[in-house]
Amino acid sequence: MTISQFSVDAARERFSSLQKGFAFFDAPGGTQVPDEVGQAIANALREASGNLGAPYATGRAVEAILARAKDDAGRFLGCSADEISFGMNMTTLDFAISRAAGRDFVAGDEVLTTQLDHDGGVAPWVELAADKGMHVRVAQATDELTVDYDDLERQLNERTRVVAFALASNATGTVADAKRICALAREAGAISWIDAVHYAAHEPIDVQEIGCDVLICSPYKFCGPHLGVAYVRQELAETWRPYKARPSAATPVGRRFETGTLPYELLAGFSATIAYLDSLGGLRVLRDYEREIGRYLIENLPENVTLYGPQTMDGRVPTFLFNVDGVPAERAAHRLGERGLGVWYADNWYCVALGPRLPETSVRAGLIHYNTRAEVDLLVEELGALTP
């Protein structure tokens, strides 16, 4: 399937939530969910409410759900199913896995992050540093709000244990050069640790090609349920002692970081999400469509809008941070909501280190593959009509 074959109208028909005339530009905060995903979750609750190991039908059903979800996640990220771990969300997984990784870290060790990172990928290291006497460094962003690679490279040293970074900023949409950062981390003897929550909704991922050690994402950003999905490179994961109940399964290696009973109904929903994306041609097709309407939005933004970050679709995903001249962000967002357009307003967008370089508050609009050109036209029209 090519972009010319992708039908946004056909995709939208699979969402009850998109049939009510409201235009959702809030994908960075979580996407709408196709009906078939909700149905898969409901079916699992009806037909597979059980736990692993039960010697009867529901036990076997749960085992099949877990096996399929692991396979789907491995295919989605380009790794072995054995290297996949599921958890409540990205942040919970990040705290859990970072604790296992950090058992042997000592006072004076360092973790390098970037100004563009969501705090879900930074706070685990800040708290570990507080416990261990470590230091968390922050690589600066450029004036265009992209990663300053020269500053990142300058801050790497023999004490750097982890380089943690967001593959795409949930605030500005800026994309990091993951292969470059992972190579720099590897050369410094550090672990590369990626927050791919925002990126995974818009671009295909291959952890082998990227060369990363850890990558975590969340399906609720790409039309799935609230869930965390992590990849940890097998050779590295096998060296870590996890925090978990002792009788709980620790093989394959991805099971090491899964604590307690998994939400099997959400895993069924995750597999339905991957099937949905595959049926549309996959993220390579959807990416092309999203970039097309993203360019269309940028090219048609009215003169009263100030866009922060990259001024084209180069080096970004279709997430746009902006303000309307003379109109407070909160008022702009509420006004757009009244007009049937869903956008958010906030201050630092959880990018704590970047906060001081952002306006006091700003508006964020994010596109995903179910958004239409007609919706973009409506957004542009309403932005142009906003006055102080």
pLDDT for 37 equals 98
Q: Give the per-residue pLDDT at 250.
A: 81
304 HSE (CA, 13 A, CB side):
16
Nearest Cα to Cα of residue 206 among 215, 198, 197: 215
H helices present in the chain, as ranges: 8-12, 35-47, 57-77, 90-101, 123-132, 149-155, 178-187, 207-210, 234-237, 264-279, 283-300, 329-338, 373-385
> Stretch 297-303: mean pLDDT, rounded?
97
Q: How many helices (H) and strands (E) does the chain have?
A: 13, 13
| 252 prior amide bond cis, ω within 30 | yes
Report pLDDT for 342.
98
Domain ranges of the chain: 8-32+282-385, 39-277
CA distance 61 to 2: 36
The count of C-alpha atoms lying within 13 angstroms of the C-alpha of 41, restricted to the half-sphere facing its C-beta, is 15
Q: What gap in Å lies between CA 212 and CA 199, rounded to an integer?
A: 15
Please state the length of the chain: 388
Q: Which residues pair with 138 in a beta bridge?
A: 113
pLDDT digits (tens, 9 = 90+) for 196-255: 999 999 999 999 999 999 999 999 999 999 999 999 999 999 999 999 888 888 889 999
Distance CA 164, CA 114 (A): 8
The angle subtended at Cα 155 by Cα 153 and Cα 161, nearest 5°, is: 100
CATH 3.40.1190.10 fits 39-277, yes or no: no
Angstrom distance (rounded) from CA 321 to CA 228: 25
Please, how many CA atoms are within 13 Å of residue 1, restricted to the half-sphere of its CB? Answer: 18
pLDDT at 1 over 60: no
Domain 8-32+282-385 CATH (choose: 3.90.1150.10, 3.40.50.720, 1.10.3720.10, 3.40.1390.30): 3.90.1150.10
C-alpha 178/C-alpha 151 separation (Å) is 15
pLDDT value at 319 more than 90: yes
- Residue 132 confidence (pLDDT) above 90: yes
Task: Say what the pLDDT of residue 3 is.
Answer: 52
CA distance 307 to 311: 7
pLDDT attached to residue 247: 82
**Cα(297)–Cα(332) distance, integer angstroms:** 17
CB atoms within 10 A of CB 279: 14
pLDDT tens track for 187-197: 999 999 999 99
Is 366 in contact with 341 (CB distance < 8 Å)? no
Question: Judging by beta carbons within 10 Å of its beta carbon (0-12, 13-18, 19+), is residue 126 exposed, middle or buried?
Answer: middle
Closest CA to 294 of 2, 3, 17: 3
- The average pLDDT across 15-21 equals 97
Q: How confident is the model at residue 358 (pLDDT cuts 50, 70, 90)?
A: very high
Instruction: Report how far residue 225's alpha carbon sits from residue 228's, in angstroms, rounded to the nearest whole number.
Output: 9
Looking only at the bridges linking them, the beta strands covering 341-342 and 344-346 are unpaired
Q: What is the DSSP string of 170-191?
A: TTT-BBP-HHHHHHHHHHTT-E
* Cut 0.85: pTM above it: yes
Q: How far is CA 168 from CA 66, 152, 198, 202, in A?
A: 29, 16, 6, 10
More confident residue, 75 or 50: 75
- 75-97 pLDDT, tens digit per residue, is 999 999 999 999 999 999 999 99
